């Protein structure tokens, strides 16, 4: 049965929704122009006529905001409220450059917790449920984001943060956790450990809310089968509040974008041209309810497809596909575009686990692609000929999917480090030299 947290908005007619988006967009543009010197300068230099801005019809006239803008404006340049009106910050991990700091007013936190409450409710959670949050707490948005959403729906919230796997399992059993929220790779690690310890019949999990990294449909099925749950996807990014920008309903066929709070566009990442729904391209979001840190035409670098076909759950919000990867996660190996999730799909479809790592290197002028895949202890005791045959089988399956040959190495269990947060699937040595 479909459950809604906010039926009024989640099932609003498309016409009403467009009207609401338009009003909110015009207000956001005017407020931001007045309040943020960075946006003012950017818009003035591109001759945006803010006074006569007509809303969605003029959205394409606004220049994009990119990650570099956020870095250049660090830390306060994009603030559109006084610092004293802000009550919290979160931040990106900053592994590939300066951190981005996002600011929130009380109103922003309330809006955010509503988006997460919608996601949890769509997955079936509510009062009486026990929600175990194994996303990292702290500057990362996952922990606190899910926490506030879970509190909002009246569930019993377990603020575990990531890691301490023994304690996670102990609490899960002792408190009868019904919903687990974490990265899919950490969920896979938890599932593997619970299974190995023979504790599957002791857990009461009904569903999982997983996100913050790419995960394939095959990985979903694997998690669902092992844990006996439904595994729901949740999407978001620090720049746009955090988790909850989009969420899955029981149909598990794309994530509904919270369109009363965000306007989504798909663009050609090369030309910046706006593409029609149904075409693959880079997701661009405009926030229309955020006060402290408005993001107007923010280029996410996530590649996805929008689906405007009405969903049978009754929600009218447009759906986005699973991100196929970040445009900057995409590997170009031997001239071919490769997303790690494509490799994951092949491996899981062949019966392997999601414990794999991809190593790309260059010998002379030729790229090399090595894929390390864990096998079980029993498989590892196979004779060499059997292992070689299995490796060859994966090599050909990957060639059929990616179009290029790689080298596959089947390795013993636990040779690949387990992840408690976002998994590190790719080591691109070409970037390290
Ligand atoms: O990962 C926010 C989040 C926390 C989302 C918990 C979902 C759950 P960042 O650390 O800023 O924020 O990373 C954002 O992670 O641009 C995507 O590339 C990726 N990502 C987030 N959710 C998904 C997902 C959080 N469901 C970046 N599927 C985004 C695939 C995802 N990729």
CA of 394 to the centre of ligand 1 (A): 29
Looking at beta carbons, which pairs linking 90-95 to residues 24 or more positions away fall under 8 Å? 90/139, 90/140, 90/141, 90/144, 90/238, 90/242, 91/139, 91/140, 91/238, 92/238, 92/239, 93/140
- Residues 135/142, Cβ–Cβ less than 8 Å: yes
Helices (H), 202-355: 217-227, 340-349
Compute the half-sphere exposure of residue 13: CA atoms within 13 Å on the CB side of its CA.
3
Q: Is the pLDDT of residue 328 over 70?
A: no
- CA 88 from centroid of its chain's CA atoms: 21
Distance, CA of 45 to CA of 33 (rounded, Å): 13
Mean pLDDT over all residues of the chain?
94
pLDDT recorded at residue 231: 98
Q: Which atom of ligand 1 is nearest to the CA of 301?
A: 16
Ligand 1 pocket list (CB less than 6 A): 92, 135, 141-142, 211-214, 233-238, 242-243, 300, 302, 322-323, 326
pLDDT recorded at residue 330: 76
CA of 195 to the centre of ligand 1 (A): 27
Token pair 């996100």 is at which residue? 211
CA of 211 to the centre of ligand 1 (A): 6
CA of 329 to the centre of ligand 1 (A): 13
Residue having the nearest C-alpha atom to atom 6 of ligand 1? 142
Query: Over the stretch 23-76, which tens digit does the pLDDT of each residue have?
Result: 999 999 999 999 999 999 999 999 999 999 999 999 999 999 999 899 889 999
Range name among 72-76, 104-108, 250-254 with the lowest pLDDT average:
72-76
- Which of 113, 184, 211 gets mutated to test ligand 1 (max ligand atoms within 8 A of its CB)? 211
Query: Over the stretch 142-179, which tens digit does the pLDDT of each residue have?
Result: 999 999 999 999 999 999 999 999 999 999 999 999 99
- Which of 120, 212, 299 gets mutated to test ligand 1 (max ligand atoms within 8 A of its CB)? 212
Please state the rounded mean pLDDT for residues 270-297: 96
Please state the rounded mean pLDDT for residues 261-273: 97
**DSSP per residue, 61-94:** GSPPB-HHHHHHTTTTTT--S-GGGEEEEEE---
Please state the rounded mean pLDDT for residues 241-264: 98
- Residues 225/86, Cβ–Cβ less than 8 Å: no
CA of 46 to the centre of ligand 1 (A): 30
Q: Which atom of ligand 1 is nearest to the CA of 234?
A: 26
CA of 210 to the centre of ligand 1 (A): 10
**DSSP per residue, 164-180:** -HHHHHHHHHHTT--EE
Q: Is the pLDDT of residue 365 over 90?
A: no
CA of 302 to the centre of ligand 1 (A): 9
Q: Which atom of ligand 1 is nearest to the CA of 326?
A: 18
Distance, CA of 104 to CA of 290 (rounded, Å): 8
CA of 201 to the centre of ligand 1 (A): 31
Q: Is the pLDDT of residue 238 over 70?
A: yes
Nearest 5°: phi and psi at 345? -60, -45
pLDDT recorded at residue 433: 63
Q: Is the pLDDT of residue 345 over 80?
A: yes
Confidence of residue 247 (pLDDT cuts 50, 70, 90): very high
Tokens describing residue 425: 């699937």
pLDDT recorded at residue 22: 98
């Amino acid at each position: 049965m479909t459950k809604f947290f906010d039926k009024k908005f989640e099932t609003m007619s498309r016409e009403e929704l467009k009207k609401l988006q338009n009003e909110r967009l015009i207000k956001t543009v005017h407020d931001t122009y007045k309040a943020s010197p960075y946006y003012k300068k950017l818009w003035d230099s591109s001759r945006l006529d803010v006074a006569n801005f007509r809303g969605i019809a003029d959205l394409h006239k606004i220049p994009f905001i990119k990650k570099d803008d956020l870095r250049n404006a660090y830390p306060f340049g994009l603030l559109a409220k006084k610092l004293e009106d802000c009550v919290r910050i979160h931040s990106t991990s900053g592994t590939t450059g300066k951190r981005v700091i996002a600011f929130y007013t009380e109103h922003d936190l309330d809006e955010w917790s509503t988006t997460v409450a919608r996601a949890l409710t769509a997955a079936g959670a509510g009062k009486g449920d026990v929600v175990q949050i194994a996303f990292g707490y702290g500057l990362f948005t996952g922990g606190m984001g899910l926490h506030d959403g879970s509190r909002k729906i009246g569930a019993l919230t377990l603020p575990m943060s990531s890691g301490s796997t023994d304690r996670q399992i102990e609490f899960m059993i002792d408190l009868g956790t019904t919903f687990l929220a974490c990265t899919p790779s950490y969920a896979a690690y938890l599932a593997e450990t619970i299974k190995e310890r023979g504790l599957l019949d002791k857990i009461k999990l009904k569903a999982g809310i997983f996100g913050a990294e790419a995960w394939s449909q095959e990985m979903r099925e694997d998690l669902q089968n092992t844990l006996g749950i439904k595994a729901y996807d949740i999407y978001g990014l620090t720049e746009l509040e955090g988790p909850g920008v989009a969420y899955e309903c029981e149909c598990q066929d794309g994530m509904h974008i919270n369109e009363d709070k965000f306007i989504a566009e798909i663009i050609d990442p090369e030309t910046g041209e706006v593409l029609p729904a149904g075409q693959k391209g880079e997701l661009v979001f405009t926030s229309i309810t955020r006060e402290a840190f408005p993001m107007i035409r923010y280029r996410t670098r996530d590649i996805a497809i929008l689906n405007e076909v009405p969903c049978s759950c009754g929600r009218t919000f447009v759906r986005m596909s699973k991100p196929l990867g970040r445009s900057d996660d995409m590997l170009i190996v031997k001239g071919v575009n490769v997303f790690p999730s494509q490799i994951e799909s092949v491996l899981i479809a062949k019966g392997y686990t999601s414990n794999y790592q991809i190593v790309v290197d260059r010998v002379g002028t030729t790229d090399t692609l090595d894929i390390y895949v864990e096998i079980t202890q029993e498989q590892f005791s196979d004779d060499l000929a059997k292992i070689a045959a299995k490796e060859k089988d994966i090599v050909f399956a990957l060639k059929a999917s990616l179009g290029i040959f790689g080298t596959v190495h089947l390795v013993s269990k636990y040779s690949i480090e387990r992840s408690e947060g976002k998994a590190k699937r790719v080591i691109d040595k070409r970037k390290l030299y």
